[in-house]
Each structure stands twice: as C-alpha cells, then as structure tokens.
Amino acid sequence: MARKVVFIGTGGTIASIGKGPLDLIDYGANNTIVHAEDIVTAIPSVREVADLVVVKFRDIPSTAISFPEWKQLAALCHRLVGEIPDLGGIVIGHGTASLEETAYFLNLTLKVGVPVVIVGSQRPLSGLASDAAMNLVAAVRAAASPASAGRGVLVVLNDEIQAAREVTKTSTFRLQTFRTPDFGVLGSVDGEHVRYYRRTERRNAPDTEFDIAPLDALPRVDISYSYAGADGAAIRAFTSVGAKGIVLAAFAPGMVTPGEQEAIKAAVEAGVTVVVSTRARSGVALDSAKLRPMGVLSADNLNPQKARLLLALALTVTREPDEIRRIFATY
C-alpha cells in the first residue's frame, strides 16, 4: 500500500504560471500563483507514487515569507501529524528565493517524527521543460521513504536530497542551483529508488531546544555585508533601530574593515550579540584574535542568512555568549 504523504502549497515558482511556455525568467510579472490542488492536477503522475493529501496554505512568493508564516507552517505540520495517524511524510512546496531559510528554520523548530521535505522549482509550472513535475514527484518519493526518517528537514530538487542546514541556492537560473558546499548531497532520488549515502552530524528536528509556540516574533537580527571601504554605517544603523543581534557577512575567512570594527565594538557595548559569518560560500568563519576580545562569536560554517536564523532562535533562550557559542556548535 502506498504511504500517505501530505503536500502543502505555499506558492513560489513551482506554483507560478507565466504568460506562455517560453516565459521562463520574469514570469512573476504575470502575477499568477495557483493553489496546491492545481499543481497536483497539472502533475497527475504524482498521485501514482503516494497516497497524496493536498493542503492549501498560502499562494505567495517566497520573498514574502518570514516568521509569521514559519510559525503557521510548523503549527500546521504538527496538526496534520496529530490528525493523520498513518501519515508517512510531509512535502512543502516553496519558492526558491528563501527556500533554504524556511527549511533551516523548520529544521530547528519542528517537533514531528515524520520526514519533512521542502521542494521548489527553477522554472514555472507553465514553462517549457519545467522542472516542477519531476521535483515534486522526487520530493514525494523522498518523504514517503522510511529511510528519510530521522534526518531532519530535507530539500529535494534536481533529483538530489540535501540537508536543510547545509544547502544553499548558488545560481539564479540553472536547474542545479541548490548545492551543499564542502560536503555534497545526502542522497538521490533515481526513479523509484531513494538512496542515502551520508548523514549530517549536527542536531536537527525534532530533537531541538527551541519552542516557537509562545513567541509573537523573533528578536531582531540583521546582516551586515562587508565590502572594501565599508565604514560601519550599516552596523550602527542596525544598532540604532534596536537589533538584538547582528551577523557579519565578513570577508573570508572572517575579517572586517577598520570602520566596521569600530562599529562592532560600539554595538557589543550596547548589548548587541554579534556573530561573524563570511561572504564566501564555504568554510568555517575565523574565530579571530581581533574580534574575539570584543565578544564576537563565530557562526561556524553557517552562511549569513542561516546564521541569522540560529542567532535569533538562540536569543529566545539565552543571552550568554558561552551558551550561544554552544548552540552554534550544536546546530
């Protein structure tokens, strides 16, 4: 018997309709995003690989998704698991712009035991040679596979299975845009075969310490991007508007300009928690002898956008530097 899988639609490219099959780039200008049920109607083969339950959530571009939607998505996943005792897995359709952030946030906050897979596409549902159909089929197969259990939130596109913590979007238009720098894929979906070759070592859903249920919002955490000649104005601005944390997208391996360094010192003295990541696509951020005495912490190998999420969640449970350092070493 086919395993039961829920498909939750949130919009994005996988749900977008352009002006025609050759409208592959600026299709968002058509302002047409269809419901999850419409996606499945357009891809009927997906019902052949699982007993599919379709759930509408939102029909929006992923650039409009942040904490309120993440909290609602998490609550929806928890409710569905409670209501469908024999549920085998959950697939969430999502725009690729912020897909990695939603995946990592859910990886840090979901408390469900079934596999959760995030899927998107690089070409709209209406596009010539769209990847939407095969991506959705592969994601449903991954979610339905017992082998996917216990691996945290997964991301499936282009027949590849990636870990939510590690994957990032690396190309604007190419189908192979989602990559895991340094470590590579967890596995692959080849036809009906779901195969795994490694696990991520970091702690993930459902075994995490973060509880978002009582939260109305996350602490404000901003990202300051380093560039030649940066004078620290962004850091001072974020501090002035009440940022509780700032992530530095620093020069690799973890360096900043003299102007930024002065602004960082003032921010830490004002009570802001500062974490250094880098603008490079891989590698561990340097625990610098220049920044460490100021109280700046390393993001390990998290990219800036994911370091921002982990820092925001960390600040909901502690302000102690040693505890935040532990959290970054754990997740």
- The catalytic residue among 10, 13, 168, 180 is 13
Spatial distance between the Cα atoms of 138 and 46, rounded to a whole number of angstroms:
9
H helices, E strands: number in the chain: 8, 14
The one-letter amino acid at 42 = A
The residues facing 255 across adjacent strands are: 251
Return the structure tokens found at 198: 């490694």
Local confidence band at 1 (pLDDT 50, 70, 90 cut-offs):
low
Active site includes 13? Answer: yes
Sorted by where each begins, the domain ranges of the chain are 4-196, 221-330
pLDDT single digits (tens) 139-170? 999 999 999 999 999 999 999 999 999 999 99
Exposed, middle or buried by CB within 10 Å (0-12, 13-18, 19+), for 171?
Answer: exposed
**Quick one: CA dihedral 319, 225, 292, 285, positive or negative?**
positive
The residues facing 278 across adjacent strands are: 250
pLDDT of residue 11: 96
The residues facing 247 across adjacent strands are: 223, 275
For the beta carbon of residue 30, count every other beta carbon within 10 angstroms. Answer: 15
pLDDT single digits (tens) 185-237? 999 999 999 999 999 999 999 999 999 999 999 999 999 999 999 999 999 99
What does the DSSP assignment read for 93-149?
E--SSSHHHHHHHHHHH---SS-EEEE--SS-TTSTT-SHHHHHHHHHHHHH-GGGT
Local confidence band at 85 (pLDDT 50, 70, 90 cut-offs):
confident
For the beta carbon of residue 323, count every other beta carbon within 10 angstroms. Answer: 12
Cβ atoms of residues 243 and 270 within 8 Å: no
Please provide the average confidence, as pLDDT, over all residues in the chain. 97
pTM of the complete model beyond 0.85: yes
Q: Is pLDDT above 90 for 58?
A: no
The CATH architecture one would assign to domain 4-196 is 3-Layer(aba) Sandwich (3.40)
Q: Which CATH number fits domain 221-330: 3.40.50.40, 3.40.50.10320, 3.40.50.11540, 1.10.150.130?
A: 3.40.50.40
pLDDT of residue 74: 98
Integer distance in angstroms from the first to the last C-alpha of the chain? 36
pLDDT of residue 2: 77
Q: Do 4-196 and 221-330 show the same overall fold?
A: yes
